[in-house]
Chains A and B, each alone.
Chain A
Amino acid sequence: MNARREILLAVIILALIVGVGIRAPAFVALSSLLGVLTDTSFLFMLALAQMAVLLTRGIDLSVAANLALTGMVVALVNHAAPGVPIAAIVVLAIAFGAALGLVNGALIAGLGIPPIVVTLGTLAVYRGMIFIIAHGAWLTSKDMSAAFLSVPKAEFLGFSSLVWIAAAVALAFWIYLNHTLAGRALYAVGGNPVAARYCGIDLGRQQLTVYTLAGAVSGLCGYLWVSRYGIAYSDIALGYELTVIAACVIGGVSIAGGVGSVSGALLGALFLGVIVNALPVINVSPFWQMAISGAVILAAVIVNSRTERRGGKLILPEARRSAAAVPGVARS
């Protein structure tokens, strides 16, 4: 079922691209499509991070604030000490973001405060801290060193470095979620917390890991965002956390936990990315973007719920027989 849904989504995305391309052939030019891909990199990485959190039946509303604060921090560092090598800046961004995420994880795992409440609080705190540490100032590209700004501009084999970085993050998540015990434990914890406990899986440790991880990814994106757009202030990526959740939902990640895949997150992010980039090209005012996003989210949620089996319990023998005739399940 999940595979079928994802194929459907992929087909819809392709249809969208083709449809837009018919109206505006420039859209399907290679450079344009690469641009869409680059643009979507942020959303994709953040969706991966949010997915890991959603798997455990949690939610992280502070990802965008984390991104913005970390971005400001590294921009300030770079402004004060332009000689610091970019590798160190990147490491700092990841570490700082991880620390912010760890705060979430500690409050959630350690004190048992519901994730939505904790991240609502840290969302406000982190955003506010941007203003405080910069004394309300904005940093623009002229305040940043050339090296700092160079990373997103770099290209390799025709693809922007952002795309490569996103691919690397995706690969890391894919290995984590599909080939490590810790990653599979996330699915267990979200799917059936009681059964997971019986298997010796500790919810608290999983939560700590996953929120720290989300923070690390947010931090990395923070640096990349600030250097790509050449600006750092308190309102960057304002409200983006909801876009990230939207991408996850469209990509089939369940808000109730236990369900989600890297390919789903990719498709969800691509979907929104294509729409955002397609609208100006076909002369639809960008003001339509929100409305369309909203409609798409609703459609995705409705479709998701339809594919789950409804109906009463199977007690009558004839009902059980007809339900057991499912392909791929051998008769036992």
Chain B
Amino acid sequence: MSEVAAPTRYQVADHAPRTLSDFLLRWETILVGLLILTIVVNAILTPYFLDVGNLLDATFNFSEKAMIALAMALLIIVRDIDLSVAAIVALVSLTMGLTAKAGADTGMLLVVALGVGAACGAVNGALVTGLALPSIVVTIGTMSLFRGIAQVVLGDQALTEYPDALLSIGQGYIGAGVPVSFAVFLLLALCVGFVMHKTPLGRRIFAIGANPDASRFSGIPVARIRFGLFVLSGLLAGLAAWFLTGRIGSTRPNIAQGWELEVVTVVILGGVSIAGGSGTIPGVVLAVFVLGLTTFGMSLMNVPGIVINVLLGLLLIVVLAAPIVIRRWMAFRR
């Protein structure tokens, strides 16, 4: 005979109640607001801004970075980082240049780009997951190594022999004036977004970032997934390199210099927490647009790139500081 009461049946609602303020305070909503603000401000300051053709052309400048940002987002979600992405672009571009010189066609160049990129990613992944090394330091090392190799082989030369087909893809459009690279980015964003938000793999990736130990104990192959994400990062860097090389038409050792920090900035602005375990792909896409259009608008006003960076740096800090400051101010008033 048990003295324990029979378990009570609790009333548990299916979902959390959704309030308007919850929706308004979501990171994505704030980003949409920021995007609208960007468009409005730029439209006022520059007459050429709202031209659809111009806007679509603007995407050339950020589509390759955006592809890399998709992979970087996943890595940051699992509490890793890949600072070697720009260097992988350089190395891939170098390999493309060499194989193009040897007569490879555009399709072959794509295979080379993806292959070399994936291989670089695998090196990162093996060091981080196989030897349990911190990813920030490993990728600082591979960043120097990969770009260093490019420097050694190229010296201060440039490779410029690329098939016309590659150039027309990198600089070209598919129907209605939409650049190929932009279309590919959107497609990738859709795929990655789908996987992350609608499939078991995506759930597992978020779990690893939220609690790697509990994920391991729950039967999730943590090391294997992390390795895969590094390979993905290399793969997308390779794809970006394929487009970038076609767009620029040449390879120099300083190609994509400084991109790694820009990509990390985009991802964090997109709402992905540097602590891991949270973030959304739509958020990252919105951040890509916000940063991309801001940069475009300012370049239309002939603001030098380095000054644009000031704004981006301030934006990053303000956007992260604001919620904290507001929360404290509200708590103070209570």
Whether A and B touch (Cβ < 8 Å) is answered with yes
- Complex formed: what's the CA distance from A295 to B301 in Å? 43
User: Mostly helix, strand, loop or mixed at chain A's interface?
Assistant: helix
Which of chain A's residues have a CB closer than 8 A to the CB of B154? 287
- Complex formed: what's the CA distance from A246 to B141 in Å? 8
Pick from B127, B136, B313, B321: contact of A123, CB under 8 Å = B313
Known: A121-B317, A305-B133. A131 touches B151 (CB 8 A): no
Which of chain B's residues have a CB closer than 8 A to the CB of A118? 317
Pick from B144, B151, B253, B317: contact of A113, CB under 8 Å = B317
| Closest chain B residue, CB of each to CB of A248 | B137
Chain A residues at the B interface, C-beta cutoff of 8 Å: 59, 61, 107, 111-114, 116-118, 120-125, 127-132, 136, 234, 239, 242, 245-246, 249, 255-256, 285, 287-295, 297-298, 301-302, 305
- Complex formed: what's the CA distance from A246 to B145 in Å? 12
Are A305 and B317 in contact, CB atoms less than 8 angstroms apart? no
Are A117 and B316 in contact, CB atoms less than 8 angstroms apart? yes
- Complex formed: what's the CA distance from A255 to B148 in Å? 23
CB of B181, distance to nearest CB on chain A (Å)? 25
Are B306 and A298 in contact, CB atoms less than 8 angstroms apart? no
CB of A180, distance to nearest CB on chain B (Å)? 28
Does B307 have its Cβ within 8 Å of any Cβ on chain A? yes
Are A128 and B307 in contact, CB atoms less than 8 angstroms apart? yes
How many residue pairs between the two chains, A and B, have CB atoms under 8 Å in the bound complex? Answer: 139
Taking A129-B310, A297-B141 as known contacts, 19 extra A-B pairs with beta carbons closer than 8 A to each other, sorted by chain A number, are A59-B136, A111-B325, A113-B320, A120-B268, A120-B313, A121-B265, A124-B310, A124-B312, A124-B316, A127-B306, A130-B306, A132-B310, A242-B140, A245-B140, A255-B134, A255-B137, A287-B148, A290-B147, A302-B133
Q: Which of B83, B137, B258, B268 has the most CB of A within 10 A?
A: B137
Which of chain A's residues have a CB closer than 8 A to the CB of B253? 287
Are A246 and B144 in contact, CB atoms less than 8 angstroms apart? yes
Are A120 and B261 in contact, CB atoms less than 8 angstroms apart? yes
Are B316 and A285 in contact, CB atoms less than 8 angstroms apart? no
Does B20 have its Cβ within 8 Å of any Cβ on chain A? no
CB of B330, distance to nearest CB on chain A (Å)? 15
Are A294 and B145 in contact, CB atoms less than 8 angstroms apart? yes
Are B261 and A292 in contact, CB atoms less than 8 angstroms apart? no
Which of chain B's residues have a CB closer than 8 A to the CB of A107? 317, 321
Are A290 and B155 in contact, CB atoms less than 8 angstroms apart? no
| Closest chain A residue, CB of each to CB of B274 | A114
Which of chain B's residues have a CB closer than 8 A to the CB of A112? 324
Which of chain A's residues have a CB closer than 8 A to the CB of B12? none
CB of B22, distance to nearest CB on chain A (Å)? 23
Are A294 and B148 in contact, CB atoms less than 8 angstroms apart? yes
Which of chain B's residues have a CB closer than 8 A to the CB of A285? 152, 155
CB of A247, distance to nearest CB on chain B (Å)? 11
Are A131 and B148 in contact, CB atoms less than 8 angstroms apart? no
Does B25 have its Cβ within 8 Å of any Cβ on chain A? no
Instruction: Show 13 residue pairs from A and B whose CB-CB distance is below 8 angstroms, ordered by the A residue.
Output: A61-B261, A113-B321, A117-B316, A117-B317, A120-B264, A123-B261, A131-B307, A288-B152, A289-B148, A291-B151, A294-B141, A301-B141, A305-B132
| Closest chain B residue, CB of each to CB of A116 | B274
Which of chain B's residues have a CB closer than 8 A to the CB of A249? 137, 140
Does B103 have its Cβ within 8 Å of any Cβ on chain A? no
Are A291 and B317 in contact, CB atoms less than 8 angstroms apart? no
Known: A124-B312, A136-B304. A290 touches B148 (CB 8 A): yes
CB of B72, distance to nearest CB on chain A (Å)? 13
Does B149 have its Cβ within 8 Å of any Cβ on chain A? yes
